[in-house]
Amino acid sequence: MWSLLQIELYKISKRPRTYISFIAIAGIVLIIQAAFKADPGYLNILLQNVGDTFEVDKGKVINGYFMCYMILNTLLIQVPILVALVAGDAISGEANMGTLRLLLTKPISRTKIIGVKFLASVIYTVALLVFMALLALFLSMAIFGTNDLLVFRAKDTESQILQITQDDVMWRYIAAFAYAAVALTVIAALALFLSVFAENSIGPIVATVCIVIVCTIISNLNIPIIDRNVKPWLFTSYLVGWKGFFYIAIDEDNVPIKGSMENWPAIRNSLLILLAHIGVLFGGSIWFFKRKDILT
């Protein structure tokens, strides 16, 4: 299994499309960092929704932690597309090249083959997130320094600023990146599932992106009947659940409680729902792949 995984990762590393995602992430992060370094006033535009109800000291707000939070807010919506680029190609790309039939004539079970493909997609997703963390968090810390993290939040009809002391931030980022890894693994599992049925990469990649877009739009609709009956079943309703790690609990005197989270059960449930999605999609991929006649 390990040997097969090594081969799979080697093949991924040799494909130019693998690096598109890294280049895209680096480009976006560096542009945002450069823009804020050159003109901190840019913050006003980003805080239009909540910031105009507060007096904020830009010098204190903009620091490495805040930059990372903002970049994650921007990027984690786009990253699913980048994950689909590789996971959507996993089986269909092999079918398109003709190597799928060669692969399947080797003494390796189909379950193992798809398992390795899935693992490789997960590793790729984690690598993307680690790369993002290096740039968005550690590079931002190097450029902008560290301070307390102010999280601006629109809650129901109110606006809120949550202050997290700098010694209470890092674990939240680690947890948020881990959560994001699970969320993005759902996208990888979806793209892999669609890849089983296709004979070229474009189909599953485009289909994955379309599903993510449609589900995200539905997840953002504020219609009570959809809120109750549809949203709980959509994985996109949980993709931004990582923010929950930054919603710190507040005591009766409105003082943030260090090391706390406002709603851990909600985060835990979101994680379980995402894991269930991964299980169903990966299980479906195995089921269909084992029964597929290779006719190409």
Partner 1 sequence: MNVILQVNELSKKFNDFQAVKNLSFTVNEGDVYGFLGQNGAGKSTTLRMLLKLIKPSSGEIIFSGKNIKEDDNAMLKQTGAIIERPDMYKYLSAYDNLYIFAKMSGIKTTRKVIMDQLEMVGLADRAQSKAKTYSQGMKQRLGIAIALVHSPKLIILDEPTNGLDPQGIADMRNLILRLCREMGKTVIVSSHLLSEIELIANRMIIIHKGEKVVEGDVATLLDPADTVVEINTTDNEGAFLKLQQTRWNEQTTKTKKNIRIRTNKNDVSQIISTLTSVGVNLLAVQPRHSLEDYFLSLTNNDTHVEPFTN
Name the site residues for partner 1 (rule: CB under 8 A).
Answer: 3-4, 7, 10-11, 14-15, 97-99, 101-109, 291, 293-295
- Asked if 204 contacts 137 with a C-beta cutoff of 8 angstroms, the reply is no
Instruction: Yes or no: say if 123 and 2 are a contact pair by the CB < 8 Å rule.
Output: no
Closest separation in Å from C-beta 107 to partner 1 = 4
Residue placing its CB nearer to partner 1 in the complex, 228 or 291: 291
Q: Of 22, 208, 9, which Cα lies nearest the Cα of 120?
A: 9
At its nearest, how many Å lie between partner 1 and the CB of residue 99? 5
| Residue 109 CB, nearest approach to partner 1 (Å) | 7
Of 153 and 292, which has the nearer Cβ to partner 1? Answer: 292
CB-nearer residue toward partner 1: 84 or 116: 116
- Using the minimum distance from each CB to partner 1, give the nearer residue, 253 or 293: 293
Is residue 46 within 8 A of residue 70, CB to CB? The reply is: yes
Q: In the complex, what is the shortest distance from the CB of residue 4 to partner 1, in angstroms, rounded to a whole number?
A: 7
Task: Please state the closest distance from residue 111 (CB atom) to partner 1, in A.
Answer: 11
The answer to whether 66 and 150 are in contact (CB under 8 A) is yes
d(CA 95, CA 89): 9
% helix / strand / coil in the chain, to the nearest 5? 70, 5, 25
| Residue with Cβ nearer partner 1 (105 or 254) | 105
Pick the closer one to partner 1 by CB: 18 or 237: 18
Minimum distance, C-beta of residue 95 to partner 1, in the bound complex (Å): 11
Q: Let me know the angle formed at the C-alpha of 237 by 235 and 240, rounded to the nearest 5 degrees.
A: 105
| Helix orientation angle between 79-87 and 17-38, rounded to the nearest 10 degrees | 170
Choice between 108 and 210, CB closer to partner 1: 108
What letter does residue 180 receive in the DSSP assignment?
Answer: H
- Long-range (24+ apart) CB contacts under 8 A made by 217-225 are none
Q: Name the minimum Å distance from CB 7 to partner 1.
A: 5
Q: Which is nearer to partner 1, 189 or 196 (CB)?
A: 196
State the DSSP code for 293.
-
Q: How far is the CB of 188 from partner 1 (least distance, A)?
A: 21
Candidates 88, 122, 112; CA nearest to 286 is 112
Which single residue is written with the structure tokens 């535009």? 45
**H helix or E strand, kind and range, residue 228:** helix 224-229
